[in-house]
C-alpha cells in the first residue's frame, strides 16, 4: 500500500507506537502523531498539505474521537479525508454515533494487521466513490 501523510491521534504513547509499526508494516509513510483532539486540530491547521487519512482513538482527554471527527468535518481542507475511529467499544450505538459524526470506518480493539489494513483500504475506497 502506498500512502503518505497520515495523522494518528492517540493519547497513549505505547498505543501510538503500535499503530505506527502496523502502518509502517503495510507501507504507510509520513505518519504524524497528535496526543489528543486539540493537538490534532492544531496540526491540521498548520499542515503544509491536507492529510490523506486520519486514524483517531475514541477516548482521549480534552476531546473525544467523535468530537474530533466533528471538527475534521467542519475543516475546509480536511472535511473529505477518510477518518478511521479506533475503540475498544463495539456497541451498536457507538457505531451508529460514529457514522453520524462523519467517521468513514470503525475499528474495534483488539485487531489484526489484516483487519487494520482492510479498514484502511475500506476508508480510502469510500473516499474515492
The domain segmentation of the chain, as residue ranges, is: 3-127
Q: What is the 3-state secondary structure (H, E, C) of the chain?
A: CCEEEEEEECCCHHHHHHHHHHHHHCCEEEEEEECCHHHHHHHHHHCCCCCCEEEEECCCCCCCHHHHHHHHHHCCCCCCCCEEEEECCCCHHHHHHHHHCCCCEEEECCCCHHHHHHHHHHHHHHHCC
- 128 falls in which pLDDT band (50, 70, 90)? low
Give me the CATH code for the 3-127 domain, please.
3.40.50.2300
92, pLDDT greater than 50: yes
pLDDT digits 0-9 by tens, 28-83: 999 999 999 999 999 999 999 999 999 999 999 889 999 999 999 998 888 999 99
Question: In the prediction, which pLDDT does 109 show?
Answer: 86
Q: Calculate what percentage of the chain has a pLDDT beyond 70.
A: 98
- 127 falls in which pLDDT band (50, 70, 90)? low
- 88 falls in which pLDDT band (50, 70, 90)? confident
Question: In the prediction, which pLDDT does 129 show?
Answer: 45
Amino acid at each position: 500500500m502506498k500512502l503518505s501523510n497520515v495523522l494518528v491521534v492517540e493519547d497513549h504513547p505505547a498505543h501510538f507506537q503500535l499503530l505506527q509499526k502496523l502502518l509502517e508494516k503495510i507501507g504507510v509513510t509520513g505518519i504524524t502523531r497528535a496526543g489528543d483532539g486539540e493537538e490534532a486540530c492544531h496540526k491540521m491547521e498548520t499542515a503544509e498539505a491536507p492529510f490523506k487519512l486520519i486514524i483517531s482513538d475514541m477516548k482521549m482527554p480534552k476531546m473525544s474521537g467523535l468530537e474530533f471527527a466533528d471538527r475534521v468535518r467542519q475543516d475546509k481542507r480536511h472535511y473529505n479525508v477518510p477518518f478511521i475511529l479506533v475503540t475498544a467499544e463495539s456497541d451498536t450505538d457507538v457505531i451508529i454515533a460514529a457514522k453520524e459524526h462523519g467517521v468513514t470506518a470503525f475499528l474495534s480493539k483488539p485487531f489484526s494487521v489484516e483487519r487494520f489494513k482492510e479498514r484502511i483500504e475500506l476508508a480510502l475506497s469510500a473516499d474515492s466513490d
